[in-house]
Chain A
Amino acid sequence: MRYRNATAYRFLTPYLLIFAIFWIWPIISSFLISFQATRTVPWRFAPTFNWGRLIGDPAFFNALKNTLLILVIQVPVMISLAVVMAVLLNSPLLKARGLYRFAFFAPVVVGEVAYSAVFRLMFSLDFGIVNKLLNSVGLEKIDWFSNVTPAMALIMIAVTWRWAGYNAIIILAGLQSIPDDVYEAATLDRVSKLRQFFYITLPLLKPVIVFCAVLSIIGTMQLFTEPFLITERGGPGGGTETLGLLLYRQGFRSLNFGYASAIAYTMAGLAIAITLVQLWLTREPK
Chain B
Amino acid sequence: MAAVTLTNVVKRFGTFEVVHGANIDIADGEFVVFVGPSGCGKSTLLRMVAGLEDISGGEIAIGGKVVNDVEPADRGIAMVFQSYALYPHMTVEQNLSFGLRMNGNPKADTQRRVKRAAEILCIDELMQRRPKQLSGGQRQRVAIGRAIVREPQVFLFDEPLSNLDAELRVQMRVEISRLHKELGVTMIYVTHDQTEAMTLADRIVVLKAGNVEQIGAPLDLYDDPANRFVAGFIGSPKMNFIAAQVVDLSNSAATVELVNHGGARLRKPLCGPLPAAGAEVVLGVRPEHFFEAGEGDCDIPVKADVAEHLGSVSYVYADAGPEELIIEREARRQRASSDRFTVSIKAERSLLFDKTGARIR
The chain A residues found within 8 Å of chain B, CB to CB, are 179, 181-182, 184-191, 195, 199-200, 203-204, 206
Closest chain-A Cβ to B90's Cβ sits at a distance in Å of: 8
Residue of B88, B89, B98 ringed by the most chain A CB atoms within 10 A: B89
Contacts of A190 in B (CB 8 A): 71, 73-74, 99, 102-103
Whether B259 is near chain A, meaning CB under 8 Å from some CB there, is no
Q: How far is the CA of A181 from the CA of B85 in the complex (A)?
A: 6
Q: How far is the CA of A185 from the CA of B156 in the complex (A)?
A: 12
Q: Is the CB of A185 within 8 A of B85?
A: yes
Whether B2 is near chain A, meaning CB under 8 Å from some CB there, is no
27 chain-A/chain-B pairs, Cβ below 8 angstroms: A181-B83, A182-B85, A182-B87, A182-B88, A184-B85, A185-B81, A185-B85, A185-B86, A185-B146, A186-B87, A186-B99, A188-B50, A188-B51, A188-B73, A188-B79, A189-B98, A189-B99, A190-B73, A190-B74, A191-B98, A191-B102, A195-B102, A199-B102, A200-B89, A204-B88, A204-B89, A206-B89
Contact of B102 among A179, A189, A203, A206 (CB under 8 A): A189
Q: How far is the CA of A186 from the CA of B72 in the complex (A)?
A: 10
Contacts of A186 in B (CB 8 A): 87, 98-99
Q: Is the CB of B150 within 8 A of A189?
A: yes
Contacts of B146 in A (CB 8 A): 185
Whether B78 is near chain A, meaning CB under 8 Å from some CB there, is yes
Contacts of A203 in B (CB 8 A): 89
Q: How far is the CA of A191 from the CA of B102 in the complex (A)?
A: 6
The 3 closest A-B pairs by CB, nearest first: A189-B99, A190-B73, A181-B85
Q: How far is the CA of A206 from the CA of B72 in the complex (A)?
A: 29
Instruction: Give chain B's interface residue range (CB within 8 Å of chain A).
Output: 20 to 34
Q: How far is the CA of A199 from the CA of B93 in the complex (A)?
A: 15
Q: How far is the CA of A61 from the CA of B298 in the complex (A)?
A: 103
Contact of A185 among B51, B74, B77, B79 (CB under 8 A): B79
Q: With A187-B73, A189-B99, A204-B89 as given contacts, are A179 and B52 in contact (CB-CB < 8 Å)? A: no
Q: Is the CB of A189 within 8 A of B73?
A: yes
Q: Whose C-beta in chain A lies nearest to the C-beta of B73?
A: A190
Q: How far is the CA of A184 from the CA of B89 in the complex (A)?
A: 16
Give the interface SS of chain A, mostly helix, strand, loop or mixed: helix
Q: How far is the CA of A112 from the CA of B123 in the complex (A)?
A: 58
Q: Is the CB of A200 within 8 A of B87?
A: yes
Q: Whose C-beta in chain B lies nearest to the C-beta of A204?
A: B89
Closest chain-A Cβ to B12's Cβ sits at a distance in Å of: 17
Q: How far is the CA of A187 from the CA of B70 in the complex (A)?
A: 13
Q: Whose C-beta in chain A lies nearest to the C-beta of B158?
A: A181
Q: How far is the CA of A260 from the CA of B74 in the complex (A)?
A: 66
Q: Whose C-beta in chain B lies nearest to the C-beta of A200?
A: B87
Contacts of B83 in A (CB 8 A): 179, 181
Those of B141-178 within 8 Å (CB) of chain A: 146, 150
Contacts of A181 in B (CB 8 A): 81, 83, 85
Q: Is the CB of A188 within 8 A of B87?
A: no
Q: How far is the CA of A179 from the CA of B74 in the complex (A)?
A: 23
Contacts of A200 in B (CB 8 A): 87, 89
Q: Whose C-beta in chain B lies nearest to the C-beta of A190?
A: B73
Q: Is the CB of A184 within 8 A of B98?
A: no
Q: Whose C-beta in chain A lies nearest to the C-beta of B143?
A: A185
Q: Is the CB of B72 within 8 A of A188?
A: yes
Q: How far is the CA of A3 from the CA of B210 in the complex (A)?
A: 65
Contact of A187 among B52, B88, B103, B150 (CB under 8 A): B52
Contacts of B79 in A (CB 8 A): 184-185, 188
Q: How far is the CA of A179 from the CA of B99 in the complex (A)?
A: 18
Closest chain-B Cβ to A129's Cβ sits at a distance in Å of: 43
Q: Whose C-beta in chain A lies nearest to the C-beta of B103?
A: A190
Closest chain-A Cβ to B65's Cβ sits at a distance in Å of: 18
Q: How far is the CA of A189 from the CA of B74 in the complex (A)?
A: 9
Q: How far is the CA of A87 from the CA of B72 in the complex (A)?
A: 23
Those of B249-274 within 8 Å (CB) of chain A: none
Closest chain-A Cβ to B98's Cβ sits at a distance in Å of: 6
Q: How far is the CA of A182 from the CA of B81 in the complex (A)?
A: 9
Q: Whose C-beta in chain A lies nearest to the C-beta of B81?
A: A181
Closest chain-B Cβ to A260's Cβ sits at a distance in Å of: 45
Q: How far is the CA of A185 from the CA of B143 in the complex (A)?
A: 10
Contacts of A199 in B (CB 8 A): 98, 102
Those of B80-114 within 8 Å (CB) of chain A: 81, 83, 85-89, 98-99, 102-103
Contacts of B103 in A (CB 8 A): 189-190
Q: Is the CB of A188 within 8 A of B78?
A: yes
Contacts of B71 in A (CB 8 A): 190
Q: How far is the CA of A203 from the CA of B90 in the complex (A)?
A: 10
Q: How far is the CA of A204 from the CA of B85 in the complex (A)?
A: 13
Q: Whose C-beta in chain B lies nearest to the C-beta of A192?
A: B102
Q: How far is the CA of A25 from the CA of B332 in the complex (A)?
A: 81
Q: How far is the CA of A163 from the CA of B52 in the complex (A)?
A: 37
Closest chain-B Cβ to A276's Cβ sits at a distance in Å of: 23
Q: Whose C-beta in chain B lies nearest to the C-beta of A195?
A: B102
Q: How far is the CA of A191 from the CA of B72 in the complex (A)?
A: 11
Contacts of B81 in A (CB 8 A): 181, 184-185
Closest chain-A Cβ to B96's Cβ sits at a distance in Å of: 11
Closest chain-B Cβ to A270's Cβ sits at a distance in Å of: 31
Closest chain-A Cβ to B175's Cβ sits at a distance in Å of: 21
Closest chain-B Cβ to A201's Cβ sits at a distance in Å of: 10
Q: Is the CB of A187 within 8 A of B72?
A: yes
Those of B3-56 within 8 Å (CB) of chain A: 50-52
Q: Apart from A182-B86, A185-B79, list 9 A-B contacts with CB within 8 A.
A: A181-B83, A182-B87, A182-B88, A188-B50, A188-B77, A188-B78, A190-B71, A199-B98, A203-B89
